[in-house]
Amino acid sequence: MEKFTRAFGRLKKAYRRFKEVVENPFLPEIFSEEFLIEITTKRFEYTYEALWKTVKEFLRLKCVLKRKQKEVDLKHILRGLECNSPKSCFKEAFKEGLISEEYEDTFFYMILLRNRLAHVYDEEMAREIYLKLKEEKFLKAIESVIKNLENEEV
């Protein structure tokens, strides 16, 4: 439980910082677009990493607790414990109701954006991703998972 609590705290902090840079209307008046692209994409990456790792820990913890209560079979436990990539964790989170149907595609799009940032960096692509990250749907999707995690009992 302690590992999940720490991971969840990191996620909420990363999300607040990402949201701050996305929603602040005064930053373009203060900083260059190049700087804003770098800081926004970096904060997105931190938030993305914290998000999938928190979901992974939550699913692991939930499976262990269910197994102790004899509510699930061993196959389900192993599936939850094998959530070792963002894609597999987000799929499992969707099945568990942490990700609503409304945001399912958004999470898989986040994987694509994160991979592009990490593996194929060029300035024009980074600018396109920056503009996409400023769309409201990313913040809302992440916030919905945070709220769902807060409401879950583990």
Sketch the domain layout of the chain as residue ranges.
2-151
Cα-Cα-Cα-Cα dihedral sign, residues 86, 92, 97, 101:
positive
Give residue 70's region: left, alpha or beta (phi > 0; psi -120 to 50): left
Of all residues in the chain, the percent with pLDDT exceeding 70 is 87
- Give 83's pLDDT tier (boundaries 50, 70, 90): confident
What mean pLDDT do residues 84-108 have?
A: 93
CB 22, CB 133: distance < 8 Å: yes
Q: What's the confidence (pLDDT) of residue 85?
A: 92
* Model confidence, pTM: 0.87
Q: Please state the CATH superfamily assignment of the domain spanning residues 2-151 in this structure.
A: Nucleotidyltransferases  domain 2 (1.20.120.330)
Query: 148: which residues sit within 8 A by CB, 6+ positions away?
Result: 97, 98, 99, 100
At 114, is the secondary structure helix, strand, or coil?
Answer: helix
Supply 150's token pair. Answer: 């807060």
CB atoms within 10 A of CB 81: 14
